[in-house]
Structure 1
Amino acid sequence: MDLLLQFQHILESDPLIDEVGFVHPTQFATLTEDSTGDAAISDGTTFWCRDHKLGVSTQAVLPLYNAAKRAFIAAMEEYKRLGDDGLESEMMKHSKALLLLSSDFGTAWNSRRWVIKSITGKCSALQEILGKESELVEKIAERSKMNYRAWNHRCWLVSYMTREQVLHELKKSRNWAGLHVADNCCFHYRRRLILRILKDSKLENASPGYSVEEVWKEELDWNEMLIKRYIGREALWLHRRFLSLCWMKQFATDLHDVSCHSELKTSTINSFNSFIDNELHLLNSCSTVPDNDFEDFQVQATFSATYILWLTKQIPEFWSEFQEKLTIGNLKAMLSKVCPERSFLWDSLID
């Protein structure tokens, strides 16, 4: 059987394949010996598949990639020339095979966008396709960390998702993000989902029970838990800035929309004060630097202090209230201690 056809046949026979690895030819004998019964697929020299893991011989990678690329380009040119709906499945099949071999191939990702755009409004299974596309990115991201093209494709999918699917994606992607806290790409994806939720919440026909406040509060609490568990991870603090900025914009809007003496205004201000108190408690819990050789605690203290400084710049009208609750002198001293090489920057930000 042709090398590419054999590769695609294995992918189609096991649609749950979530990992593709490259195996030296000398390892196939060992893999085959460890495989029993029909649990594994192997030709002994080129492919081995078991438990949704696919191994490809290192000797076959280059010819297989070249064959997949030629098949993909031919399908793409035919699709552009004819615009035939029947060619869409061919585009998806060849582009998937190519991306599993080389996940940085931008044209292959773009081709999947063309197909999704073309079937929107015509395919009853669009949401199922979007779900599988999201899963494909997640699988590729497992072995290709911080793959911008893959995550950019996943972010693009959000605009085609239903509200229910957006909430499902936000919940489903939490475990993955919690295990990859240094990968800002997955948090950027979560931010895109949250922005979509905020946008939909402003529509008149927003779904009942579609509480933006609950989604925001859950994300904020989850982010705080990760910050305290994984010390000194910048991606987590950047995500918190996004969450805080979203809330402050909503706070400013709510405060502008209510009357000066209404109970709603009082409630909104109390909610704001509660938020600030929580962020200052987080600062205190992250500012302790033990006397050890690990730099993570120093980095954590720097991130927490600069986060609070950033926060004060977003709401200058409440700077006096911040000063009452925040000991600026202590904050400056801490920053100068953990990061003395930036003392000039701290002076300019605090003064």
Structure 2
Amino acid sequence: MKDTSAAVSRGAILLTELGRLFDSDPLIDEVGLLPTTEHLQVETAVDKQNTLHPEAFFLAEHKLALALPALQPLHAAANELLLAHLPSPLQRATTSPEHSNSARALATADVDESALLNAARTLVLINGEHACAWNVRKRWLLRLAQAGAGSTTSAAVTLPYDEAVNELRLVEVVHSVRPKAIAAWAHRRWVLQNAQLLSLAPGEAWSERHAASFQVEARVCARAAQLRRLNYSAWRHLRWAARQLPFTMAATES
């Protein structure tokens, strides 16, 4: 029990620092896992102040290295924060259907949302199949969409474009370390669908933005396939993306 508490305490410090690193460089595009990162601080000319914990993190040129010994305390702290602010099974069971959207909200009103999102991001980096963490991020995106649309219901809304692009960037970072994670690919499809980056709204014509989105998906899938051979998840995603194209466009892209 004492070991667990110590891991959570140290993990909370590392979790805050990891969030600071992502905030300082929103263009991070790759994460790598290394036995230790201290040697990187010595072997490069990068200022050591890029992280307060050189034994755990190293960030340079939009590439982030995580030391393997830091993963366990990071996971413990992030998981504890996530579970502490989610509705309990009793709360979910006693919430009426008309307030089902609220049932998906956080358990307390004074939650530090940025800290919670940082915890969710950390968990999916460590475990790309962490469905609960992905769902926290989905709920956050839906709240943004509903606020932008002035809606408080669970009616269909379109995700904000900028936030959707940022979320896809995060998923790509997860792919860099967990290229086969099925939940990560599913989350990517959810964002694309709900932001209508590939699919067409009723009466909408195919645009350059849709074509550019497909090219991004093709690039992401190719990279994931290079990282892991026989990456069925990546090729399945590319097949799904191709099926979103209008028939004539699909023939051109092929």
Q: Say yes or no: TM over 0.5.
A: yes
Q: Does 1:81 align with 2:90?
A: no
58 and 194 in structure 1: CA distance in 2 versus 1, 3 angstrom threshold: closer
TM-score normalised according to structure 1 size: 0.51
Which residue number in structure 2 is paired with residue 307 of structure 1? none
Answer yes or no: is the 8 Å Cα contact 2:46–2:60 preserved in 1.
no
Residue of structure 2 equivalent to 1:193: 241
* Structure 2 counterpart of 1:115: 140
Please tell me whether the aligned partners of residues 31 and 173 of structure 2 are also in contact (alpha carbons under 8 angstroms). Answer: no
Distance (Å, rounded) in 2 between the aligned partners of 1:19 and 1:178: 15
TM-score normalised to structure 2 length: 0.67
Secondary structure class of the residue paired with 1:48: strand
Conservation of the 8 A alpha-carbon contact between 2:243 and 2:250: no
Q: Distance in 2 between matches of 1:8 and 1:72?
A: 15
Contact 1:166 1:193 in 2 (8 A): no
Between structure 1 and structure 2, the one with the greater Rg is 1
Equivalents in 1 of 2:48, 2:62: separation in Å? 10
Counterpart Cα distance in 2 of 1:39 and 1:217: 51
Indicate the residue corresponding to 1:129 in structure 2: 163
**Aligned equivalents of 2:139, 2:20: Cα separation in 1:** 24
For 1:328, the equivalent position in structure 2 comes to: none
Describe the SS at the equivalent of 2:50: strand
Residue 216 of structure 1, CA deviation? 1.2
Report the identity percentage.
21
Residues 166 and 70 (structure 1), Cα distance of their counterparts in 2 relative to 1, 3 Å cut? farther
Q: 1:59 aligns with which of 69, 82, 85?
A: 69
Query: What's the secondary structure of 1:81's corresponding residue?
Result: coil
Q: What is the Cα-based RMSD across aligned positions, in Å?
A: 2.9
1:72·1:98 contact (CA, 8 Å) conserved in 2?
Answer: no
What is the one-letter code of the residue matched to 1:127? Answer: Y
Give the Å deviation of 1:40. Answer: 6.9
When residues 3 and 77 of structure 1 are mapped into structure 2, their CA distance, relative to the original with a 3 A threshold, is farther
Q: Measure, in 1, the Cα distance between the counterparts of 2:14 and 2:222.
A: 38
Which is further off, 63-72 or 90-99?
90-99
How far apart are the structure 2 equivalents of 1:142 and 1:17?
Answer: 11
Structure richer in helix, relative to its length: 1
Q: The residue matched to 1:21 in structure 2 has which SS?
A: strand
Match 1:155 to one of 162, 178, 189: 189
What is aligned with 2:154?
none
Contact 2:35 2:68 (C-alpha < 8 Å) held by counterparts: yes
Instruction: Give ranges in structure 1 of 5+ residues lacking alignment.
Output: 199-211, 221-351
The correspondence of residues 30-49 of structure 1 with structure 2, limited to 5 A, is 30-38=39-47, 41-42=50-51, 43-49=53-59
Question: How many pairs are equivalent?
Answer: 203
After TM superposition, the structure 1 stretch with the greater mean CA deviation from structure 2, 34-43 or 168-177, is 34-43
| CA-CA distance at 1:87 after TM superposition | 5.3
Q: Whose relative contact order is higher, 1 or 2, with alpha carbons under 8 Å and at least 6 apart?
A: 2
